[in-house]
Amino acid sequence: MLTLADRVAQFTLWYHTLDLGEAGVTNGWFDLRPIVNTLPWPDVTGKRCLDVGTYDGFLAFELERRGAAEVVATDIPDHSEWDWLPRQRRDGIAYLNAIAGEKGGGFRLAKEALGSTVERETISIYDLSPERLGEFDVVVCGSLLLHLRDPFRGLDAIRGVCRSELMSCEQVDVGLSVRHPRRPVLTAFGDIGKWLIPNAQAHFKMLEIAGFDVIEKTRIYAIPFGTGHPASPRRFTSMLQEQGRAMASRGRGNPHVAARCTVAQI
């Protein structure tokens, strides 16, 4: 019989790098551990919290670790439910089914290893509602808006279940952020599962438009690639672009900004 550590080591694909104690450290695509304490966390002590688009659950388990009274983590039920770009839908679903296996499998293994009480609900961000899940004191959402065909509809749904504070952490376009530090600008990306990517100012503006007041925000930072992340192409132009992104985001990895917001009184 396989031990829990064996099951963790043999799991098809880990999105998050998670320290699971005796079960080991997961071979994740992204490692949030070096930057997690630099994020603008609301006080979650004793509060009911929601992690939207949890995947393997890093932010959900972090909410629990920080003292939340209850944590709910949401995600879609399978890879076919992604907001696929029309030209990518068939091949994208086949690709993720092949490399990632069952949706939610990593979360369940991590929850077991951590002895966590976080509850996972299979629901799209668009379907969040007080009737379905109730309301939450704090909501966190990380690296999800770029995967949505309608990020404003997603933010509206978050606002509908958020009583107090939202922490939003999203990928940004470094070049646009440097060239337009005060002007909101988005780029049509078109990579697998990615629609629009904002510059830093556009992300903050999107939150404002969606009915949130930004009360704290970060500079651009990099989420480091984990040990399981696919190797990047080593073409000369790619290397120059990577070096430029690393300088602007103060590290190598996926460039993000984060904001702590309150629900605007409208």
Contacts of 226 (CB under 8 A, 6+ apart): 14, 16, 17, 27, 28, 29, 30, 31
Residue 120 backbone dihedrals phi, psi, to 5 degrees: -100, 130
Question: pLDDT tens across 153-208, in order?
Answer: 999 999 999 999 999 999 999 999 999 999 999 999 888 889 999 999 999 999 99
Report pLDDT for 195. Answer: 95
Report pLDDT for 247. Answer: 45
Report pLDDT for 1. Answer: 86
Joined tokens for residue 41: 């966390």
Dist. CA 101–CA 79, nearest whole Å: 9
Q: What is the DSSP string of 35-72?
A: TGGGS-PPP-TT-EEEEES-TT-HHHHHHHHTT-SEEE
pLDDT band at 251; cut points 50, 70, 90:
low
Joined tokens for residue 29: 């695509």
Domain boundaries, the chain: 4-263
CATH superfamily of 4-263: Vaccinia Virus protein VP39 (3.40.50.150)
Give the chain's mean pLDDT.
Answer: 93
Residue 246 predicted with pLDDT over 70? no
Alpha-carbon separation of residue 37 from 9, 12, 103 (angstroms)? 26, 28, 28
Residue 236 predicted with pLDDT over 50? no
Percent of the chain scoring above 70 in pLDDT: 92
pLDDT band at 249; cut points 50, 70, 90:
very low
Dist. CA 171–CA 223, nearest whole Å: 9
Report pLDDT for 193. Answer: 87
Question: pLDDT tens across 32-64, in order?
Answer: 999 999 999 999 999 999 999 999 999 999 999
